[in-house]
A and B are shown apart, each in its own frame.
Chain A
Amino acid sequence: MIRFLSILFILVSNTIFSILEIEILKGSDNLSKVAFVPFGNESGIEENYGSQISKNIEKNMLLFGEFENLAVNEMLSYPSSENDFYYRDWKVLGVDYSVIGKVNSVNALGNLNISYSLFNINRRIKILEGEIVGSEDNIEDISKIISNRIYEQITGLRGIFDTKLAYVINSDADTYQMCISDIDGKNEQILFTSKAPIMSPDWSPDRKKIAYVSFENGLAEIFIQDLQSGERDSIQALGMTNSAPVWSPDGKSLALVVSFSGNPDIFLYSIRNKRLVRLTNHYGIDTEPSWSPDSKKIIFTSDRSGSPQLYEISTKSKRKKRLTRDGNYNARGRYFPDGKSIFFVHGNNGNFQIAIKKLSSRYIETLTSTSLDESPTISPNGNIIIYATKDGSNGYLGGITLDGKARFSLPVKNGSVREPAWSPLLN
Chain B
Amino acid sequence: MEPIGIFILAMLCQVYSCAANVSDSVERMQYASVAGEEYLQGDKLETNLDDKVYFDFDKSALDAEDKNLLEQYLPEIKKAKIVRLEGHCDERGTREYNLALGERRALEVRDFLVVKGVSGKKIRVVSFGEEKPLKSASNEKAWAENRRVEISLY
A residues near B (Cβ < 8 Å) are 2-4, 6-7, 9-11, 192-197, 199-200, 215-220, 230-232, 240-241, 243-244, 257, 259, 262, 264, 285, 287-288, 301, 303, 307-308, 328-329, 331-332, 345, 347, 350, 352, 371-372, 374-375, 390, 392-393, 418-419
Contact = CB atoms under 8 A, between A and B. Distances in A.
B118 to A, nearest CB: 16
Given A197-B128, A347-B93, A10 B99 contact: no
Nearest to B13: A7
Contact of A308 (B23, B33, B58, B107): B58
Contacts of A288: 94, 96-97
Interface stretch (B24-32, B42-50, B67-75, B144-152): B24-32
Contacts of A285: 97, 100-101, 104
Contacts of B4: none
Contacts of B132: 197
Nearest to B126: A219
B29 A196 contact: yes
A193 B19 contact: yes
Given A218-B34, A230-B18, A375-B94, A241 B12 contact: no
A194 B19 CA distance: 10
Contacts of A199: 95-96, 99, 129, 131
12 contacts: A10-B20, A192-B19, A199-B96, A200-B95, A218-B34, A220-B127, A240-B103, A243-B96, A288-B97, A303-B97, A350-B92, A371-B138
Given A216-B29, A219-B126, A390-B91, A372 B97 contact: no
Interface of B: 9, 12-13, 16, 18-20, 22-27, 29, 32-35, 58, 91-97, 99-101, 103-104, 107, 125-129, 131-132, 136-138
A3 B9 CA distance: 12
B16 to A, nearest CB: 5
Given A7-B16, A262-B107, A372 B99 contact: no
A370 to B, nearest CB: 11
Nearest to B131: A197
Given A6-B20, A215-B131, A345 B93 contact: yes
Indicate the member of B12, B92, B95, B136 with the most A CB atoms within 10 Å.
Answer: B95
A192 B91 contact: no
Contacts of A392: 138
Contacts of B27: 2
Given A200-B95, A218-B32, A262 B128 contact: no
Main secondary structure of the interface of A (DSSP, over half): mixed
B93 A374 contact: yes
Given A197-B131, A243-B99, A374-B93, A3 B24 contact: yes
A98 to B, nearest CB: 45
Contact of A11 (B16, B35, B94, B99): B16
B29 A218 contact: yes
Contacts of B12: 7, 11
Contacts of B25: 216
A11 B19 CA distance: 10
A287 B99 CA distance: 9
Given A199-B131, A230-B18, A262-B103, A218 B35 contact: yes
Given A199-B99, A372-B91, A390-B138, A216 B131 contact: no
Contacts of B16: 7, 10-11
